[in-house]
Structure 1
Amino acid sequence: MTEYDYEALGLVAGLEIHQQLDTATKLFCQCPTELRDPDASTRRFTRYLHPTRSELGELDDAAVEESRVDREFEYLAYDTTCLVEEDDEPPHELDAEALETTLEVAQLMDMHPVDQAHVMRKIVVDGSNTTGFQRSSLIATDGEIETSEGTVGIEDMLLEEESAQRVAETDDGVRYSLDRLGIPLVEIGTSPDISSPEQALEAAERIGMLLRSTGKVKRGLGTIRQDVNVSIEDGARVEIKGVQSLDDIDDIVRNEVARQAELVEIRDELADRDASVGDVEDVTGVFEDTDSGVIAGALNAGGSVTAVPLYGFDGIVGREIAPDRRLGTELSDHAKRHGAGGIFHTDELPAYGVTEDEVVALREAVGAGPEDAVAIVAAETEIAEAAIEAAAERAETALEAVPEETRGANDDGTTRYLRPLPGAARMYPETDVPPVEPDPSEVPEPELLTEKVDRYQEEYDLGEGLAEQVAYGKYMPLFEDVVAEGISASDASGGSSDSSDGVDPTLAATTLESTLTELRRDDVPVENLTDEHLNGVLEMVEDGDLPNEGVGDLLTALAEAPDRAPEEAAEEEGLGGADEGEVREAVVEVVERNEAQVTEEGMQAFSGLMGECMGALRGKADGDLVSELLREEIQKRA
């Protein structure tokens, strides 16, 4: 990929970070914030959504374009789904736990809370909310973070409700699951202070670390999303939605800079060619006997083929503007919005069953010469007409400028067209929710993850690597809880400490970070394990009811049958701790069974017999105790 001079191009970028909060209930109702399998839904209902006017009587361009696509939205409801989620009851008051967590984040970014927070409605008619809008409230402004390339301002932080989860495309529209709808979400917007792809990645990583420092954010795929705003001096502001992985942000910025730079070059070249876009025409007759499966399929279903001549565009429609994406791909993205599968264009034809003779006839039908290009759509007649009109409009834009628009992030670091940029007309007050006055005075400032790493090493005597794994891992809040009473196995100086009730920090850390990772690699369904399972297993070890060696076996048993309590599972699986008498009895049995080997080899027989003893005890005894007793029994006979 070409590495551009970002300063010379005038790169300006900003971030919007969306992070789900780990609260007990949703933002405007008392429903749980846990996700479920769509198959667990108990009923379904459908809606059709339409844009509404703002307080000034204006319609938002993005909402209008979204509404042009006639779709039915189907929603999966669950046994906990309430009337608020279905939009059959007004929302309740703003969740206090979510507000407190938002204020914690604000402190970490040196932000200033607003005096009074008002809930607003933001028009969204893509079906992701049953209401046709998303509720959002400004909580804090004017903060900053530091990066190696300079300070990045934090303009604002909003507390809003998460959208419904898109489950599938249907014949009539889109299916959504309501379990995600309403989960509290913070949206953090930076100032346009970012001037390189590397700085964009560093700023996102810093914000992510600050969010996780609260210990009150959800973890896992889909719980955090990054939107990136990118522009260059001769280009336009483009909002890229839904970057799932932090590691993709620098590539997203690089590819968007490349895309805009190429579009600027295309604009200038089209101007030199005096290019223009012709009128849309029906060219179905050209393809009456076609061998193209796509076109024949549309015609056999009663559809038609529409075309638009692109005068002066020859060789331009097929020009690459980002990895594996061309100007023709941009035209196709717009056509797809209206139900078409995409477009064909003469820069790529003959191909796909379209012959050279058909290309010649197509050019003649629309009056296109050798310097021109032609784009076509084959689909149901109404769809074909709307789709080719959309492609023609995008071609018109290519003559003038890089369009301001909202784009979606692809897995390969490229982007695709979604809709026009939204404007102020999409916002209006939510009159059903009373305003609140945020009070940060009693909100403690969270400890940074970097500070936790240092503390875990000093206070709990964890190695640097393990301390970092725990601090940055998803189980950090649980680790803090189980060791909260102090260090039970040994104090910081290595001496015995009997005064604490907390779980041994090293045991907790290795279980949560190493043992679970090993079980996951062995295809144990560790996702079934709850905090209660993990806490219970660690407490059993601490209380002497389970040896360290039995932790993996018990966690496996619980993961495979999660309805049981740890004590119950341990008893059913025979994993409870054996007392010293039982351990000695097992050791003696092993030694006597191998008496000849012990007599001949003496203590050299220890290693082989140790494994046999542990196998006989099936994880019921601590290895140190088994080792001690085995040595005693061998010495008696040696």
Structure 2
Amino acid sequence: MRCGLELHMQLDTGKLYCRCPNIIKMDEKPDYVIKRKLRAVVGETGELDIAAKREEEKHRVIHYNCYNDSVCLVDTDEEPPKEVDDKAFRAALEIALLLNMKPVDEFHIMRKLIIDGSAVGGFQRTGLLANNGYIQTSLGKVRIKTLMLEEDSAKRVDDNSFSLDRLGIPLVEVGTEADITDPNQAKEAAEKIGMLSKFTGKLMRGIGTIRQDVNVSIEGGDRVEIKGVQDLRMMPDFVKLEVERQQKILLIRDELNKKKAVLKKFEDLSKLFEHTNCTFIKKALIEGEHVIGARFTNAKGILGTIIQADKRFGKEIAEYLNVYTGVKGILHLDELPNYGVTKEEVAKVLKELKCDDNDSFILVMCEQTERSNVEFIIKERVEQAYKGVFREVRAPNHTNGTTSFMRPLPGSARMYPETDIPVVRVTGELVGEIITHLSQTPEQKYDFLIGSGLNNELAQQLLHNIDKLVLFEKVINETEVDNKIAASLILNNPVEELKVDSVINVFKLFDKGAFSKEAVPSIIERLKKEDFEKVVNDYRSVSTKTVMNLVLERIDYHASEIFDERAFGVIMKELMAELRGRVDASDLSKVLKEELEKKKLLK
């Protein structure tokens, strides 16, 4: 097994070729919508990329959601791009140097043809910034092949709609060589690259800001890219199951060739199911679709072969068909009778298609106008199996580690030079300046945390949560809050769900005594849904005079009924119910104790 990684990391600097801010919308209504129909064009090699050609064949009109505060004419491809954002360029260079990479002398931008709808102009701008780096893992060195600085793609809303808020956000793509030989090493390498990059403090935070693609191949197989692995904990599972899938595909290849299996011509079998009790076949016939089927000679048992977890080869064909036609599902002999299809109906199909004992068959429901394309796509996937593993991009299923076909693996035919943006020189002075201010390594960062007064437990927790580590450093740099208190509050509260500026402002107010330490968790929790000023005002500290008056009031209230050690606990409980979060508990306890002793109610 050989495995390589591609990590895509968003930079928190503003968009790459315009000066719009990075504002990711969730489910907000767009301010306006534009429409585009994208077409494939030849690349620099004069060839048409296979992935682009297949996307064009879908003849889709794409709708793009636009927002006034984060989308401009550059994003809609109605205005030429501006120069490369300097902050993003420097941040990408810093990441490259942390990965022991060699920056290029000149940054040349290319256009990468993408017409799946995720790039409104039909291409994505990308450029090589550094190469020849490495990281160390427990199983040896993993070489870093390239670091690309590119613009992120548009965010998919549904099959024919995208949101342009994400388009143009600077994206660093780090690609390793295929040096990874163990599934767990893949996870370790991804964690190491992500950790070093996050140490710069220049990556965006939140779900989807870092995306991993995993490339896997085995001897006799071919490179397959698993696109968008979000959960690092599942990366070993995806690698293991892809290895298993390729091994099974190779066995199926050998079996098909050994038995000389052939998928014959499709025939209309609708009449055989006129009285069927199979719900989805009955529904398809009512809606005017036809049931077509083809004999698969000498292929009995092959379509039912499990290739990955509980996934059969027949499912692999069905997913491929669905991507290109929208037709959902096929039926084959190895899984019948089932789904309401009876033994008698299976016998009729076998007879109609003239199947022998060693034969199988494929059934599919489609409209007559789709029939020729459906037949072509099914035959194409079967023919690929005769050759073995097909070079392709696959989508991950994070529930069980399986994958499904997305598109063919793109080639070099989709690249051609950018003509609107000048070359950027990477000078020795610039590299030297960045090296001078280079982020610390994990080992150096640990020493810094221990030196700042944190214990080993707090230091290790921060090292393994880079977002919170970056936030911790900002808090201690911008406030005088005690380092241990700052670390504890950041680690034990969901600060990652808030904007960084909001969290910093909470700590600044806490530092000035605006509210007590006990108030911080409640404030952070409420800020997820409520206005900043309203929440903070609810926890504003009360004056010393007010605290003293409340203490004396409570003591006088209870003086006639409590004359022993119970007095402190009862009164403290009542005061905290009224003042929690607005006064430090230890300070309140001290004042109450002193006043009780003065009145000789506490010995």
TM-score (norm 2): 0.94
Deviation at 1:252, TM superposition (A): 0.7
Map of 1:503 onto structure 2: 481
CA spacing shift, 1:606–1:146, aligned 2, 3 Å: same
Structure 1 SS opposite 2:239: helix
CA spacing shift, 1:570–1:402, aligned 2, 3 Å: closer
Deviation at 1:450, TM superposition (A): 4.3
- Once residues 127 and 170 of structure 2 are traced to their aligned partners in structure 1, the CA distance between those partners, rounded to angstroms, is 11
- Does structure 1 residue 260 correspond to structure 2 residue 246? yes
Which one is further off, 439-448 or 183-192?
439-448
Map of 1:424 onto structure 2: 412
2:403 to 415, 421, 428: 415
1:143 to 110, 115, 133: 133
Deviation at 1:373, TM superposition (A): 1.2
1:551 to 500, 509, 520: 520
Q: How does 1:221-240 map to 2 (within 5 A)?
A: 221-240=207-226
Map of 1:447 onto structure 2: 440
1:348 to 335, 338, 341: 335
Map of 1:185 onto structure 2: 171
Q: Quick one: percent identity of the two aligned structures?
A: 40
- Once residues 84 and 476 of structure 2 are traced to their aligned partners in structure 1, the CA distance between those partners, rounded to angstroms, is 33
Q: Tell whether the 8 Å contact from 1:294 to 1:378 is kept in structure 2 after alignment.
A: no
- Does structure 1 residue 580 correspond to structure 2 residue 544? yes
Deviation at 1:457, TM superposition (A): 2.2
- Once residues 535 and 273 of structure 2 are traced to their aligned partners in structure 1, the CA distance between those partners, rounded to angstroms, is 69
Map of 1:91 onto structure 2: 81
- Once residues 553 and 350 of structure 1 are traced to their aligned partners in structure 2, the CA distance between those partners, rounded to angstroms, is 59
1:376 to 356, 363, 366: 363
2:455 to 436, 449, 463: 463
Structure 2 SS opposite 1:475: helix
| Amino acid aligned to 1:456 | L
2:256 to 261, 267, 270: 270
Q: Tell whether the 8 Å contact from 1:586 to 1:616 is kept in structure 2 after alignment.
A: no
Q: How does 1:44-443 map to 2 (within 5 A)?
A: 44-80=33-69, 81-169=71-159, 174-337=160-323, 338-411=325-398, 412-438=400-426, 439-443=430-434
Structure 2 SS opposite 1:227: strand
After superposition, give the CA deviation of every residue in 1:105-132 in whole Å (9 maximum; x if it has no partner): 1111110001111111111111111111
After superposition, give the CA deviation of every residue in 1:538-560 in whole Å (9 maximum; x if it has no partner): 12222222222332344445443
Structure 2 SS opposite 1:88: coil
After superposition, give the CA deviation of every residue in 1:205-236 in whole Å (9 maximum; x if it has no partner): 11111111111111221111111111111222
Deviation at 1:608, TM superposition (A): 3.5
Q: Tell whether the 8 Å contact from 1:166 to 1:176 is kept in structure 2 after alignment.
A: yes
After superposition, give the CA deviation of every residue in 1:582-612 in whole Å (9 maximum; x if it has no partner): 212111222222225541x23x542333222
Which one is further off, 92-101 or 578-587?
578-587
Map of 2:491 onto structure 1: 513
Q: Tell whether the 8 Å contact from 1:152 to 1:193 is kept in structure 2 after alignment.
A: yes
Map of 1:635 onto structure 2: 597
CA spacing shift, 1:362–1:531, aligned 2, 3 Å: same
Deviation at 1:292, TM superposition (A): 2.3
| Amino acid aligned to 1:126 | D
After superposition, give the CA deviation of every residue in 1:234-259 in whole Å (9 maximum; x if it has no partner): 22211111111111111111001111
Which one is further off, 377-386 or 202-211?
377-386
- Once residues 473 and 74 of structure 1 are traced to their aligned partners in structure 2, the CA distance between those partners, rounded to angstroms, is 37
- Once residues 559 and 61 of structure 1 are traced to their aligned partners in structure 2, the CA distance between those partners, rounded to angstroms, is 46
After superposition, give the CA deviation of every residue in 1:243-277 in whole Å (9 maximum; x if it has no partner): 11111111111001111111122222223322222
- Once residues 75 and 322 of structure 2 are traced to their aligned partners in structure 1, the CA distance between those partners, rounded to angstroms, is 31
CA spacing shift, 1:593–1:515, aligned 2, 3 Å: farther
- Once residues 330 and 607 of structure 1 are traced to their aligned partners in structure 2, the CA distance between those partners, rounded to angstroms, is 69
Structure 2 SS opposite 1:105: helix
4+ residue stretches of structure 1 with deviation over 6 A? none
- Once residues 515 and 606 of structure 1 are traced to their aligned partners in structure 2, the CA distance between those partners, rounded to angstroms, is 31
Q: Tell whether the 8 Å contact from 1:123 to 1:426 is kept in structure 2 after alignment.
A: yes
Map of 2:536 onto structure 1: 570
Q: Tell whether the 8 Å contact from 1:377 to 1:384 is kept in structure 2 after alignment.
A: no
Map of 1:536 onto structure 2: 505
CA spacing shift, 1:468–1:383, aligned 2, 3 Å: farther
Which one is further off, 143-152 or 65-74?
65-74
Structure 2 SS opposite 1:130: coil
After superposition, give the CA deviation of every residue in 1:37-80 in whole Å (9 maximum; x if it has no partner): 33331111221111111133210111112222222211111112
Map of 1:490 onto structure 2: none
Map of 1:6 onto structure 2: none
Deviation at 1:581, TM superposition (A): 2.1
- Once residues 68 and 335 of structure 2 are traced to their aligned partners in structure 1, the CA distance between those partners, rounded to angstroms, is 52
Q: For the aligned residues, what is the CA RMSD? A: 1.9
Map of 2:556 onto structure 1: 592
- Does structure 1 residue 18 correspond to structure 2 residue 42? no
Structure 2 SS opposite 1:341: coil
Structure 2 SS opposite 1:586: helix
Q: Tell whether the 8 Å contact from 1:339 to 1:383 is kept in structure 2 after alignment.
A: no
After superposition, give the CA deviation of every residue in 1:143-188 in whole Å (9 maximum; x if it has no partner): 011111111100001011111111123xxxx211111111111111
CA spacing shift, 1:605–1:454, aligned 2, 3 Å: farther
Deviation at 1:190, TM superposition (A): 0.5
Q: Tell whether the 8 Å contact from 2:109 to 2:417 is kept in structure 1 after alignment.
A: yes
- Once residues 484 and 363 of structure 1 are traced to their aligned partners in structure 2, the CA distance between those partners, rounded to angstroms, is 76
After superposition, give the CA deviation of every residue in 1:9-31 in whole Å (9 maximum; x if it has no partner): xx1111111111111x1111111
- Does structure 1 residue 479 correspond to structure 2 residue 472? yes
Q: Tell whether the 8 Å contact from 1:263 to 1:321 is kept in structure 2 after alignment.
A: yes
Deviation at 1:281, TM superposition (A): 2.9
Q: Tell whether the 8 Å contact from 2:226 to 2:395 is kept in structure 1 after alignment.
A: yes
| Amino acid aligned to 2:515 | L
CA spacing shift, 1:584–1:234, aligned 2, 3 Å: same
Map of 1:8 onto structure 2: none
CA spacing shift, 1:245–1:103, aligned 2, 3 Å: same
Q: Tell whether the 8 Å contact from 1:340 to 1:384 is kept in structure 2 after alignment.
A: no
Q: Tell whether the 8 Å contact from 2:199 to 2:466 is kept in structure 1 after alignment.
A: no
- Once residues 530 and 149 of structure 1 are traced to their aligned partners in structure 2, the CA distance between those partners, rounded to angstroms, is 38
- Once residues 535 and 390 of structure 2 are traced to their aligned partners in structure 1, the CA distance between those partners, rounded to angstroms, is 61
After superposition, give the CA deviation of every residue in 1:391-450 in whole Å (9 maximum; x if it has no partner): 222112222312222211111211111111111101111111111112312112111344
Q: Tell whether the 8 Å contact from 2:101 to 2:130 is kept in structure 1 after alignment.
A: yes
Map of 1:489 onto structure 2: none
- Once residues 253 and 233 of structure 1 are traced to their aligned partners in structure 2, the CA distance between those partners, rounded to angstroms, is 15
Q: Tell whether the 8 Å contact from 2:11 to 2:204 is kept in structure 1 after alignment.
A: yes
1:561 to 510, 515, 530: 530
- Once residues 80 and 457 of structure 2 are traced to their aligned partners in structure 1, the CA distance between those partners, rounded to angstroms, is 49
| Amino acid aligned to 2:30 | S
- Once residues 365 and 298 of structure 1 are traced to their aligned partners in structure 2, the CA distance between those partners, rounded to angstroms, is 20
| Amino acid aligned to 2:559 | E
Q: Tell whether the 8 Å contact from 1:339 to 1:387 is kept in structure 2 after alignment.
A: no
CA spacing shift, 1:430–1:351, aligned 2, 3 Å: same
Deviation at 1:569, TM superposition (A): 4.5
